[in-house]
Chain A
Amino acid sequence: MERHAPTPDNPWLALRNLTPARIALGRTGISLPTGAQLDFQFAHAQARDAVHLPFDHVGLRQQLGDRGRDSLLLHSAASDRHQYLQRPDLGRRLHEDSAQRLREHAQANPGGVDLAIVVADGLSALAVHRHTLPFLSRFEEQAAADGWTSAPVILVEQGRVAVADEVGELLGARMTVMLIGERPGLSSPDSLGLYFTYAPKVGLTDAYRNCISNVRLEGLSYGMAAHRLLYLMREACRRQLSGVNLKDEAEVHSIDSEESAGKSGNFLLGEG
């Protein structure tokens, strides 16, 4: 897909190779040329559509079923998208009917589980539709090899990250992994976020979670995301915690890999 129309008359067009930013757009008078203007509008429209795209839970459950995975569909306390966007507190809790269903499931399946996988639409159902299956197939294969038991995949409509705490607590899960659509950027309408919590319970703050962001084709690959998540899970089980105390070491790990990628010189300072 073309990010923005070429403007061959712009003498600093070559700088486009150095950054994904919308530079060297050219001008008509002092204004944006038509091509660049409409490219922006399309990118914004895609991001908006991603925010408002309904969660296709029927399709997702079908796909999970085809892979032999059970699933449960739940709803947050936010009744619709309009309320979801204005009341983050409601998106963080289950609707009472959903909480009751989960309690009944737990009673019928006593003893708890190692892992609860929760999938919520978040701010981009598009991300969830695109990436849930391919990511889970990578991830669950390795999780099973580690011997962890899983509950059915829990889908939550109009859910925010913290709703996984309630799900995990009601299921008696040792750990939760939340797959959620991230706030769409102008150039990334389908970015999936992964949030991991050890010993989930209602009321935990973000300090108790670890986040792996930007899972999408142009961002973090499924394999790398699964690798990092499993690393966190193993460390969490060993140290019996998640969140900022775990994050420090994981970050050192990622900074190292960034720096090994090397930095290019700066042409403005004669370091081309």
Chain B
Amino acid sequence: MASFTHTVGHQVYRFDSLKEVMAKASPARSGDYLAGVAASNDGERVAAQMALANIPLKHFLNEALIPYEQDEVTRLIVDTHDQQAFAPVSHLTVGGLRDWLLSEQADEHSLRALAPGLTPEMAAAVSKIMRVQDLVLVAQKIRVVTAFRGTMGLRGRLSTRLQPNHPTDEPAGIAASILDGLLYGNGDAMIGINPATDSIASICALLEMLDAIIQRYDIPTQSCVLTHVTTSIEAINRGVPLDLVFQSIAGTEAANAGFGINLNVLQEGYEAGLSLKRGTVGQNLMYFETGQGSALSANAHHGVDQQTCETRAYAVARHFKPFLVNTVVGFIGPEYLYNGKQIIRAGLEDHFCGKLLGVPMGCDICYTNHAEADQDDMDTLLTLLGVAGINFIMGIPGSDDIMLNYQTTSFHDALYARQTLGLKPGPEFEAWLERTGIFTQADGRIRFGDNLPPAFRQALAQLA
């Protein structure tokens, strides 16, 4: 294992491994202190960033942060690394990569070609020496386009996952939140439910219901019930109509074991989803959720900082050509990301690193009530991610998830981002919104229809 020193003035800083340089170079966050891997002061942090900037990218191919023999995620990263794609930057250091990414040479085309040549550790390393504006600027150059029944990630588009959660999975309650979201133009990324009850029977009932709603109203979107991948496989085996296969994933084999999965299980889930051939404009169908701190909370981080662990999860994700990946940035709590500042930075890091690696990134822009964060912080992160070109965000009624007890972006928040940044929903869903008369969007301005769409008026009339 290499050791690294960096001298600033008369002070010599010494780091005993690449893992230690990476951890100490990470912008401050509570989870790295909790793990005991953070820099001991601001000076040491910047010295570590300087040392990191001088490390050649090639070194990352020789020193694994988590040993190849011990971890299948490391093996996946090493075994699938594309030397040819790496060639344009193979002579650079981490600092040189930052300069290259910000330069004119890095454009949509060259960045797409580079993605398979970068390892997650390289992406994480360069992000640690980038400011917020760098993370936004480079991510904004990249597009990662995927498709199933709708197309995600096109330039000028911002999609939303309609998340109609209900504390007891009451069908009418879920339907009420779905209709509310649709009438505010949300739901093109998916209608995705976090179920309160995890029994196979109730999961299948929710999937049947979502499929029936999507068909009845001819909505160009995807259904998802966020249950364990093995439960989705079981539902598929029972012949239940399922669009997207969900799973929480992390960046180490041990953390994934904590989720009850490994790469083989994910492959089985992916193949089961593909066997249904339900996509109409594409066949990307995996939906993954991630978040900084998940490896540490499973005591499976191997002394690697939480942002690097998170970026390794994107190597897992991209292997299965996902439809969307969602970093649930503020959900885990203040022991990992303490306040609005840490949550904002983490959300932008995750989006940048994911996009750089070719992953269709979205973000659950969220916080819990014991974090030092509020709606103003979420507005800030939403605006920044909108500028950075994020593929999708959550949309829920009034920012209040009554099942998971946290706050994320509302249907109204999505409209704010679309209006101020001139972003539209995915093209298929945009056409549906126009056709039904919910709203049209020209020159960025959203114009709502004067009347409720007839089909929904009819549904509401039943309640009278």
| Contact flag A87-B34 (CB < 8 Å), given A12-B183, A21-B173, A187-B402 | yes
**In the complex, what's the smallest C-beta–C-beta distance from A262 to chain B, in angstroms?**
10
Q: Give chain A residues whose Cβ lies under 8 Å from the Cβ of B172.
A: 18-19, 264-267
Chosen A-B contacts, 13 in total, with CB atoms closer than 8 Å, are A12-B179, A19-B172, A19-B176, A23-B398, A30-B412, A30-B446, A44-B407, A86-B30, A89-B34, A186-B405, A265-B172, A269-B212, A270-B462
Is A88 among interface residues, defined by CB-CB distance under 8 A?
yes
Q: Give chain A residues whose Cβ lies under 8 Å from the Cβ of B179.
A: 12, 15, 268
Q: Is A36's CB under 8 angstroms from B405's CB?
A: no
**In the complex, what's the smallest C-beta–C-beta distance from A88 to chain B, in angstroms?**
5
Q: Is B178's CB under 8 angstroms from A19's CB?
A: no
Is A20 among interface residues, defined by CB-CB distance under 8 A?
yes
Is B166 among interface residues, defined by CB-CB distance under 8 A?
yes
Kindly name the residue among B176, B179, B335 whose own CB sees the greatest number of chain A CB atoms within 10 A. B176
Chain B interface, number of residues (Cβ within 8 angstroms): 58
Partner of B459, one of A4, A17, A41, A268: A268
Is B270 among interface residues, defined by CB-CB distance under 8 A?
no
A-B pair number, CB within 8 angstroms: 162
Is A183 among interface residues, defined by CB-CB distance under 8 A?
yes
Q: Is B175's CB under 8 angstroms from A266's CB?
A: yes
Is B246 among interface residues, defined by CB-CB distance under 8 A?
no
Is A31 among interface residues, defined by CB-CB distance under 8 A?
yes
Is A25 among interface residues, defined by CB-CB distance under 8 A?
yes
Q: Is B197's CB under 8 angstroms from A21's CB?
A: no
Q: Is A27's CB under 8 angstroms from B460's CB?
A: no
Residue of A nearest to B398 (CB): A22
CA distance A10 to B260 in the complex (A): 45
CA distance A20 to B197 in the complex (A): 18
Residue of A nearest to B407 (CB): A186
**Interfacial residues, chain B to chain A (CB-CB below 8 A):** 30, 33-34, 164-168, 170-180, 183-184, 197, 199, 209, 212-213, 216-217, 334-335, 338, 368-370, 374-375, 396-400, 402, 405, 407, 410, 412, 415-416, 418-419, 446, 452, 457, 459-460, 462-464
Interface residues of A in 249-272 (CB under 8 A from B): 255, 258, 263-270, 272
CA distance A184 to B179 in the complex (A): 28
Q: Give chain B residues whose Cβ lies under 8 Å from the Cβ of A16.
A: 176
Kindly name the residue among B170, B174, B180, B396 whose own CB sees the greatest number of chain A CB atoms within 10 A. B180
Q: Give chain B residues whose Cβ lies under 8 Å from the Cβ of A175.
A: none
Is A156 among interface residues, defined by CB-CB distance under 8 A?
no
**In the complex, what's the smallest C-beta–C-beta distance from B30 to chain A, in angstroms?**
5
Q: Is B412's CB under 8 angstroms from A25's CB?
A: yes
**In the complex, what's the smallest C-beta–C-beta distance from A254 to chain B, in angstroms?**
10
Partner of A270, one of B173, B174, B183, B459: B459
Q: Which 3 A-B pairs have the closest CB atoms?
A: A22-B398, A19-B173, A185-B405
Q: Is A86's CB under 8 angstroms from B460's CB?
A: no
Partner of A266, one of B209, B335, B407: B209
Kindly name the residue among B164, B171, B396 whose own CB sees the greatest number of chain A CB atoms within 10 A. B171
